[in-house]
Amino acid sequence: MVKFPEKLSKKIALRSKAKMLRKLPETGKSVDFFSNDYLGFSKMPELAESTKALLHDLKENDNGATGSRLLSGNHALYGLLENELTTFHNCEAALVFNSGYDANLGFFSSVPQRGDIVLFDEFVHASIRDGIRMGNAKSYKFIHNDIDSLIEVLKRARKSAFHETEVYVVTESVFSMDGDSPDISALVKCCEANNCRLVVDEAHAVGVFGDAGEGLVQQSRSQAKVFARIITFGKALGSHGAAVLGSKELIDYLVNFARSFIYTTGLPPHTVATVLAAYRLLCGDLGAGFRKRLQERIAFFGKERDRLGLQGIFVTSTSAIQSAIIPGTIAVKQVAGAMGDAGIDVMPILAPTVPQGWERLRFCLHAYNSETEIAKALLLLSEFKNAV
């Protein structure tokens, strides 16, 4: 066996010593409070059946895309999905990427140019940060969900700007680790007033918010004023992949310059068909029923949390993500371990994913979590948090 580099072994040892070493978890044993499958689509037989029917109707039997979408991989399902996304999300055009990570990497590394400025919420997802880091624009963070801070940072950043500088403001409509949301209408106004382009990652809002699960940008009727949206299919849609929504010109640009789009094999037809079928399900009665159930479960979680006097440790959130702050790697891991032993799968989120001191148990709620399961999870939390 070739010897592993010593400096890398040291990095692992350091993480291990700090009790921050990541390990692949065993899954599927207990009650699911940790997956992003908010509506239960990933395991829904109706979705599997309609995907099969769709592939059958289209006489599509291929197992793989066979190449980049710019070469042999642009199978017919892509066009069908992108057309439906454009209608459903009320935008001019859509471009499907292989994942949300790829979409953010491709967008942020290619759209902001040298001399441009990117202002990002301090809690945006790693994929956005990585994309920005790969690009040539200057970037500055502003305080989480704080428009005054955004304006302050913008004023400072503009001092080094010249007349052609574009300013991009980046946020998430539901933050992945906190579950909270910015005031999108206020952000839109601020961006309009200051001539900035707003980009919103809607990964955790699609399927959960909006009349038919369109997300928070459409719920706040802001779609025409947002420069770009990033949506993902691996969360409430229960599948895999992502898309950038925006103008036709933006999509043409990404096809030409987003390297994470160009230099990779496309998604297999089956995956794209699953996403298409998932959107159709979302629009129908079944989807509406699951969305309503999810909202009821979120409300029940809030009531039970308050009844047990736990509201003080939770980040304020009306989404499917509810985070209980339990500072300290060891403490949060202990609580998560005890919950796991008691049959509740909930993820401890550690630094560096969140800032040190802000470690948390992140409860992801689902339409399929029963009230009994939610009550049990919160009761266990109230017992175990006092024991660490």
Ligand X SMILES: Cc1ncc(COP(=O)(O)O)c(C=O)c1O
- The H-or-E segment that residue 321 falls in is strand 321-325
Choose between 171 and 223: whose C-beta lies nearer to ligand X: 171
| Options 40, 234, 266, 348; binder of ligand X; rule CB under 6 A | 234
Min CB(126)–ligand X separation in Å = 8
* Beta-carbon count within 10 A of 66 CB: 13
Buried b (16+ CB within 10 A) or exposed e, 269-302: bbbbbbbbbbbbbbeeebbeebbebbbebbebbb
Chain-centroid distance, C-alpha 40: 16
Task: Dump the DSSP string for 67-133.
Answer: S-TTTT---HHHHHHHHHHHHHTT-SEEEEES-HHHHHHHHHHHSSPTT-EEEEETT--HHHHHHHH
From the list 99-107, 206-214, 284-292, 375-383, the region that binds ligand X by CB under 6 A is 99-107
Number of residues near ligand X (by CB under 6 A): 13
Hey, what are 202's tokens? 């809607």
Q: How far apart are CA 214 and CA 222, in angstroms?
A: 12
Min CB(160)–ligand X separation in Å = 29
Choose between 101 and 368: whose C-beta lies nearer to ligand X: 101
Contact between 125 and ligand X (CB under 6 A)? yes
Query: Which residue type, as a one-letter code, is found at position 299?
Result: A
Task: Return the residues of window 284-343 that contact ligand X according to CB under 6 A.
Answer: none
| Options 73, 100, 213, 287; binder of ligand X; rule CB under 6 A | 100
| Options 42, 50, 104, 222; binder of ligand X; rule CB under 6 A | 104
From the list 23-31, 98-106, 131-139, 159-167, the region that binds ligand X by CB under 6 A is 98-106
Min CB(34)–ligand X separation in Å = 12
From the list 11-19, 96-104, 308-316, 374-382, the region that binds ligand X by CB under 6 A is 96-104
Min CB(133)–ligand X separation in Å = 15
Contact between 40 and ligand X (CB under 6 A)? no
Task: Return the residues of window 154-183 that contact ligand X according to CB under 6 A.
Answer: 172, 176
- For ligand X, which residue has the nearest CB? 100
Phi–psi pair at 101, nearest 5 degrees? -60, -45
Min CB(102)–ligand X separation in Å = 7
Using CB atoms within 10 A of its CB, is residue 68 exposed (0-12), middle (13-18) or buried (19+)? middle
> If phi over 0 gives left and psi between -120 and 50 gives alpha, with beta otherwise, what is residue 97?
beta
Cβ–Cβ under 8 Å, residues 156 and 199: no
Min CB(163)–ligand X separation in Å = 33
Min CB(2)–ligand X separation in Å = 31
Min CB(139)–ligand X separation in Å = 17
Q: How far apart are CA 135 and CA 113, in angstroms?
A: 7
| Options 55, 137, 242, 281; binder of ligand X; rule CB under 6 A | 242
Cβ–Cβ under 8 Å, residues 157 and 139: no
User: Which residues here bind ligand X, judged by CB under 6 A?
Assistant: 99-101, 104, 125, 127, 172, 176, 201, 203, 232, 234, 242
